Chain A
C-alpha cells in the first residue's frame, strides 16, 4: 500500500538522549516535511526538504536536524532531547515542494515521543 511509514510509533526517552525518528515514503514525492502536533496548537513545521539533497528550516527547527540522502527517506534527529520536545511528530510528503504552489500533503501515522 502506497504511503508513508514512520517509526517508532511510540517512544519514551530520557532527557539528554539522542533520538532519530524514521520516515519512508514510496510515492516518489519530491517534498517531505516534519511537523509536530501539540494539544491546543496547530501543526508546526520543523524542517522540510523540497528534493533529495536539500533541506530547509520551518517554524520550530531548534533542537532538531534532518537529512535527505535520497527521495524516499527523511529522518528527524533530536541530538539531545528535552521535555519540551514531548509531542506527536508527523512526517508528510507532497508532489510539489514547499513554496512551490498549492500542494496536498500525505501524512504518516505519527510518532508519539515522550521525553522525561
Chain B
C-alpha cells in the first residue's frame, strides 16, 4: 500500500532550526510537496521537489532523496508565526496525491 509517515508533533525554540522528516512508500513517484497549515486555516504551498537534493527558499529548505524515500523540511531562524502543521504529500505514478497526517510544530519563546 501507499504510505506517508511524518512525526505527529515537534517542539522547537524561537530563533532555532528544526527539521521535519517525511518518509514515503508509493507506487511510482512524481514529486513531493510540503504545505503549511495554520490552525483553522487552509493549507498553503511551501515547496515541491522531484529531483534529489536541497531546494532553498528563504528561511525554508526542502530536501529529497528518492533512493531512500525520504524528504525533510528545514526551517531556520524560527519565528512564532511558524507554529503550524506541516503536511507532506507525494505524487504517485498516476499523479495522485498521497497525504501524510501532518506534523504539528510548536514554537516556544
Contacts and interface: CB of A to CB of B under 8 A. Distances in A.
Interface stretch (A12-20, A35-43, A67-75, A78-86): A35-43
Contact of B42 (A99, A104, A108): A108
B99 to A, nearest CB: 3
Contact of A42 (B8, B31, B42, B102): B102
Contact of B101 (A42, A45, A98, A107): A42
Contacts, number: 54
Contacts of B96: 45, 98-99
Given A90-B42, A107-B44, A110-B42, A43 B95 contact: no
A102 B42 contact: no
Given A98-B95, A102-B91, A104-B45, A42 B30 contact: no
Given A42-B87, A42-B100, A99-B94, A109 B41 contact: yes
Contacts of A102: 30-31, 48, 50, 91, 95
A60 to B, nearest CB: 12
A40 B101 contact: yes
B26 to A, nearest CB: 12
Contacts of A98: 95-96
10 tightest A-B contacts by CB? A42-B99, A107-B42, A43-B99, A99-B95, A102-B31, A104-B45, A42-B101, A107-B43, A109-B42, A42-B100
Given A40-B101, A41-B101, A90-B42, 11 more contacts: A4-B42, A42-B87, A42-B101, A43-B89, A99-B96, A102-B30, A105-B45, A106-B45, A107-B44, A109-B41, A110-B42
